[in-house]
Amino acid sequence: MSTLLDIRNLTVRIDLPGGPVFPVRDVSLSIGPGETVGLVGESGCGKTLTCLSVMGLQGRRVATEGGGIAFQGAVLDPRSREDRRRRARGMGMIFQNPMTGLNPVRTIGWQVAEAYRIRTGADRRTGAARAVELLDLVGIPEPRRRARDYPHQISGGQQQRAMIAMAIAGNPSLLVADEPTTALDVTVQAQILDLLSRLQREIGMGILFVTHDLGLVAEVADRVAVMYAGRVAEIAAAGELFSRPRHPYTKGLLNSLPFLDDEIDRLKPIDGTVPPLTALPTGCAFAPRCPRAVGICRRAVPETEGQDGGLVACHRPLLAETEAA
């Protein structure tokens, strides 16, 4: 499979008054055309900042400290105007919070039309007509009338659907979806996922799908990347990861899930908390919470081992099926 997006050893720095912190550290991840890669992990592990780095939207106080991002074979330079245009034409993003992702002083139709025109070069009339079609496509009722509404005039679920319409306008090659179905009920969620799946089949769109819902990841993703404290802990095919996790953190996430056929009194959480970026432990960041940790885990950062289809960053990975079960 050819590579659509290739993130290699990406490290992101944020300069704070007390000194720099590194919320994304040495992250490597690839996505092929027509492939969906799930990105999961606890809040604060660096998922959203990784997505913003891919899009070139990190903000002024955030800088790339190391590594790089290649899109469709070309290494992207955040300072290059041409590379910014390449991102705008070829990438779309569904932001986590539609309230802040939508422009409050522009109508919904104008914003969807703008995204379509940027990617296709269409004129205003064509863009406006296509915006109505896209709003109808994502399930907004009375799309022609709603196209004239401002974000505060529609519900949170409709705002989310408008964001999705903007992201898929003009059929981008890569869709970065940061919690794309959070504000939607299960019926609309299924409709949106079916829509994204159809677009993948038609145009070969790759999707980076960020979510906390592991059940949703199991349904939509071809491969899954698990992040912890800014680093990738494990990457595996979805079926392999859920049946035979290799990283203790991945196993902890799966063990904390409720299952309908299990009779349990309490859920089984992972002991401890995610360390703050200003006080990351020496060695493996998960070591203070890991039941398998030994001396080397607290002294040295683990190397990432394996092939791109299945990677793990752990000094003592789960190898036997009895350990992963």
Instruction: Compute the average pLDDT of residues 140-147.
Output: 94
258, pLDDT greater than 80: no
pLDDT in the model for residue 127? 96
pLDDT: is 258 or 223 the higher one?
223
Instruction: Compute the average pLDDT of residues 61-81.
Output: 86
pLDDT in the model for residue 80? 85
pLDDT: is 192 or 290 the higher one?
290
Least confident among 89-98, 222-231, 304-313: 304-313
Beta-carbon contacts of 3 under 8 Å, excluding residues fewer than 6 positions away, are 30, 31, 32, 70, 73
pLDDT: is 223 or 138 the higher one?
223
pLDDT in the model for residue 2? 79
Instruction: Compute the average pLDDT of residues 209-226.
Output: 91
pLDDT: is 43 or 262 the higher one?
43
Closest among 226, 217, 271 to 250, alpha carbons compared? 226
User: In the chain, what percentage of residues exceed pLDDT 90?
Assistant: 54
Beta-carbon contacts of 189 under 8 Å, excluding residues fewer than 6 positions away, are 181
Best CATH choice for the domain 5-221 from the list 3.40.50.150, 1.10.600.10, 3.40.50.300, 2.40.37.20: 3.40.50.300
Instruction: Compute the average pLDDT of residues 246-270.
Output: 80
Tens-place pLDDT, residues 190-201:
888 888 888 888
Note the pTM of the prediction, 2 decimals: 0.90
288 CB neighbour count, 10 Å cutoff: 15
pLDDT in the model for residue 244? 92
Tens-place pLDDT, residues 10-53:
999 998 888 889 999 999 999 999 999 999 988 888 899 999 99
Beta-carbon contacts of 157 under 8 Å, excluding residues fewer than 6 positions away, are 183, 184, 185, 188
CA dihedral 61, 66, 69, 75 (to 10 degrees): 110
Instruction: Compute the average pLDDT of residues 113-117.
Output: 95
Distances in Å between the Cα of 178 and the Cα atoms of 191, 208, 239, 279, 294 are 17, 8, 22, 27, 35
pLDDT in the model for residue 193? 86
Tell me if residue 156 falls in helix, strand or coil: helix
Q: pLDDT band for 321, please (50, 70, 90 cuts).
A: very low
User: Domain locations in the chain?
Assistant: 5-221, 226-324
pLDDT in the model for residue 322? 44
pLDDT in the model for residue 17? 86
Average pLDDT, the chain: 88
